[in-house]
A and B are shown apart, each in its own frame.
Chain A
């Protein structure tokens, strides 16, 4: 293209005009200078273009010029032009802020709706983030945590597999001395809550976090000592290390070292003195799957301290933690471990089952060790004998997804509302343009308006979160702790989100509106008239409702499944059953205690047993006598006293219950249906099964019942009678069925009788139904959390819909007015306006149904027993969604429909 000098000069002048201190006179003078210079350069032999560029450069930058002119005009001392912000601030920052606040003030309703939605979104997201950070922080506080593993056991049986977190007592020593890769190994035995009373003089407490261990524990784990020497703290028999808090509890301010704490174990009646050899720091804010307030020497444990017990390979009694050299291949270590430890496994099997390892594996069984990284125990481990109910990585993922969804919902809301609001501000934008606003300035102005709202929301949420956290904890049953440092990081993350939302939600309208000519904007013929933009907004609304409706349906399904879990017929009567543990010493002493209970009128029946529904029980293998072709079956088993069936309301299909009058019942067994099936017996009653080579006659068959939680399928089960052979495994749990009336008096009566027979053993009781319900604690937590976030999502969705519909209705005011004048009824108007939104919600519903169906099918698969996804839940979901939409849109629709058409038509 040819160089056009005049055009270039014109453009140059235009660029000068952008600076507000350059007045026309100045520019004219500068132009004449430019022309003189060009002329001179041309006379010196340059062409027009070169001359223009040279002249332009010699005059210098327009910004500098403008600022110099300003200085010569102003009286201010710094001489800084008012439009030039400090270097660290974007141009016109305060002006934008001011406008932002003014807009906020002018559109109060809109702004609050927007603010509200954002606050909910950010707050929930922060809460989820706290939850996730909490879950991920388990067991990370140990210096060696990367190299610490827990050894666990996998036992396979022909028809099932059981993984246990517990190992044998001598295993830690064995590992330390036989594997050079194992730097250190420690064993941890934890007493169950309520098992041990700790006493110092008058002060005595049940300690729920008492563990027994060895000195090695302090080398593996990071447990900072305040007093005492960690290397020798547990060397002496009967020494104990306690936390600072525990020390304060028992000894106040005085130095506890060398003092005595007395421990009494459940079932025992003797106090054992432990002297305090160390105090360690409290572990507040530290999350661990292993919690301890007191650590005592395991080596000389009063009950299992004998060399025989300590070297007992039979039972899986305690937890073994090892520290490995770093950088090892764990799979290889496990292989090596299992190969080398076969003789020890064999030892265990011989003692337990009296068969050789070869016989054991030949029958389709298996026994192997595996290693669990310490830091993954909380989220990934769900073995039997876990120390606590662990978390689940699935929920971490699930809630991460929900957090992102809630944020997206809030972001979409923000965007939709902003777009809607701009449609009422076209004139303002036009006027700004006419007065010389540049496109860039308009964009920055829009963005700063949205930043005003989003940052306000951020600040309010940041204040809000610590306030609501305790409530969330109590609603959901979670134990989220508030850590300022973590929270700070979360806030930084959220700020990034807020900036993104502010930017993204307004960038599109800002770019679009600022690009249009003021003429079109003033005429209002642009933008909102076109259906294309509506399609985008509608798409967003549909997307929001897909999320909300999916969550609604999921919550309904989860609630339904929980109801099912808690109310399903379990095959036994869980109500009105009182459980008293640790009763063997009382029952063993005399029959009269039992008789005194049986004779009390409000006690319907009394039994004792090794286990009650909800307990975990052992597995053994039964064979049929004289039928070598029958391979037998592995069964879960327990021993019970008389009246067990009656007390728990178990139903016999055939045969009879144990009978005190029949002496041979000590060698009798009752099976459940599943056991009969897996043993392939057609006429089970009267058959004889072999249990540990001893013959037991089947006297009855029970209808299947859910001994363990509904997460597990019903297993084959054998119930042995009161057998002298099993005396070393006493039936220590007392269970009583009592009348519904006078419950408190009944309990008092039992307590009194109990006190007559034993002083040492505490009377601790629980109700079976509570015990059963506690099996579903985690499921209930999930339901509560889900419900919480569903309400969240619904709120955000409704808030957005409310704002959007109010703008939509305002656009339609004239339309509605005209229709009313022409004779439309209120009813017709309501249908007209709401139908638009109902259509959107129904579209969303159609998308949400398969999504929620799929994810809930997946979730229900986690349960062995679950509801089937019936259509009614989906219908309820639809009804709720439509109801919510109607309610949200309804009020405004109604007021518009009822209003005087004249007003509507006058509306401008």
Chain B
């Protein structure tokens, strides 16, 4: 399980990355996160929505209400240019952290010793 703090910090790049592959709605986003993390990354489902709301307020995503085939109203999220830039910044930061960790641990992660 990934710790709460780390999960919270990774939410933003995670969502933005998923949205980079095309617009999506909340439920689908959560399913994707679950799939990708193999269950390692899990929040109470509802908690995603305040985060999406925050991204929207910050201008990283834009939204539109659409009607699904079953006639259900869904709020779709699209990544904005500002969002892409933000994601790039985030990726750089994550990668630099990652490379530091890699150097420190080598190919022999701590949990094996």
Contacts and interface: CB of A to CB of B under 8 A. Distances in A.
Contact of B26 (A33, A58, A61, A73): A33
Given A25-B75, A72-B51, 10 more contacts: A26-B49, A28-B73, A32-B75, A58-B45, A59-B44, A59-B45, A60-B44, A64-B44, A65-B47, A72-B53
B53 A26 contact: yes
Interface string B44-75: 11110111011001000000000000001111
B60 to A, nearest CB: 12
The prevalent SS among residues of A at the interface is helix
A181 interface: no
B49 A65 contact: yes
A427 interface: no
Given A26-B49, A32-B27, A59-B45, A72 B72 contact: no
Given A65-B50, A73-B57, A35 B44 contact: no
A59 B45 CA distance: 5
Interface in A22-64: 25-26, 28-30, 32-33, 35-37, 58-61, 64
A68 B54 CA distance: 10
B71 to A, nearest CB: 11
Interface residues of B, number: 18
A73 B53 CA distance: 8
B50 A29 contact: no
A193 B74 CA distance: 99
A561 to B, nearest CB: 79
A901 B44 CA distance: 68
A752 to B, nearest CB: 103
A69 interface: yes
Interface of A: 25-26, 28-30, 32-33, 35-37, 58-61, 64-65, 68-69, 71-73
A212 B48 CA distance: 89
A32 B73 contact: yes
A82 to B, nearest CB: 17
18 contacts: A26-B49, A29-B74, A32-B25, A32-B73, A35-B72, A36-B27, A58-B44, A60-B46, A60-B47, A61-B44, A64-B44, A64-B46, A64-B47, A65-B49, A65-B50, A68-B50, A69-B50, A73-B57
A69 B48 CA distance: 10
Contacts, number: 61
Contact of A72 (B44, B57, B74): B57
Contacts of B49: 26, 29-30, 33, 65, 69
B57 A65 contact: no
Most chain A CB atoms below 10 A, which of B30, B45, B72: B45
B46 A65 contact: yes
A73 B25 CA distance: 21
A26 B73 CA distance: 12
A32 B45 contact: no
Nearest to B57: A72
Given A33-B26, A36-B27, A37-B27, A71 B50 contact: yes
Contact of A29 (B26, B30, B54, B57): B26
Nearest to B55: A72
Contact of B45 (A26, A60, A71): A60
Contacts of A71: 50
Contacts of B47: 60, 64-65, 68
Contacts of A60: 44-47
A36 B44 CA distance: 15
B27 to A, nearest CB: 4
A68 B47 CA distance: 7
Contacts of B25: 32
Interface in B24-51: 25-27, 30, 44-47, 49-51
A28 B53 CA distance: 13
A59 B27 contact: no
Nearest to B68: A32
B50 to A, nearest CB: 4
B6 to A, nearest CB: 18
Nearest to B26: A33
Given A29-B26, A37-B27, A72 B54 contact: yes
Contacts of B74: 29, 32
Interface in B61-111: 72-75
A61 B50 CA distance: 13
A32 B73 CA distance: 7
A37 B45 CA distance: 10
A59 B27 CA distance: 11
A28 to B, nearest CB: 6
A221 B57 CA distance: 81
Most chain B CB atoms below 10 A, which of A58, A60, A61, A68: A68
B76 to A, nearest CB: 11
Contacts of B50: 65, 68-69, 71-72
A666 to B, nearest CB: 113
B54 A59 contact: no
A25 to B, nearest CB: 8
Given A32-B74, A32-B75, A59 B57 contact: no
A33 B44 contact: no
Nearest to A35: B72
Contacts of B57: 72-73
A202 B53 CA distance: 95
Nearest to B51: A72
Contacts of B51: 68, 72
A475 B30 CA distance: 81
A58 B75 CA distance: 19
A59 B49 CA distance: 10
A69 B53 contact: yes
A68 B26 CA distance: 16
Contacts of A72: 50-51, 53-54, 57
A28 B27 CA distance: 13
B75 to A, nearest CB: 5
Contacts of A33: 26-27, 30, 45-46, 49
A29 to B, nearest CB: 5
Most chain B CB atoms below 10 A, which of A28, A36, A61: A36
A878 B27 CA distance: 80
A65 B30 CA distance: 16
Nearest to B25: A32
A26 B26 CA distance: 11
A71 B54 CA distance: 9
Nearest to A26: B49
B46 A30 contact: yes
A260 B46 CA distance: 92
Contacts of B75: 25, 28-29, 32
Contacts of B53: 26, 69, 72-73
A106 B104 CA distance: 71
Contacts of B46: 30, 33, 58-60, 64-65
Most chain A CB atoms below 10 A, which of B46, B54, B73, B74: B46
Nearest to B43: A60
Contacts of A61: 44
Contacts of A25: 75
Nearest to B56: A72
Nearest to A29: B75
* 9 nearest A-B residue pairs (beta carbon): A60-B44, A72-B54, A68-B50, A59-B46, A36-B27, A60-B46, A58-B45, A69-B50, A29-B75
Nearest to B74: A32
A854 B42 CA distance: 78
A659 to B, nearest CB: 115
A495 to B, nearest CB: 42
A64 B43 CA distance: 12
Contacts of A28: 73, 75
A278 to B, nearest CB: 73
A37 B75 CA distance: 15
A72 B55 CA distance: 9
Contacts of A30: 46, 49
A615 B32 CA distance: 106
Nearest to B72: A32
A348 to B, nearest CB: 92
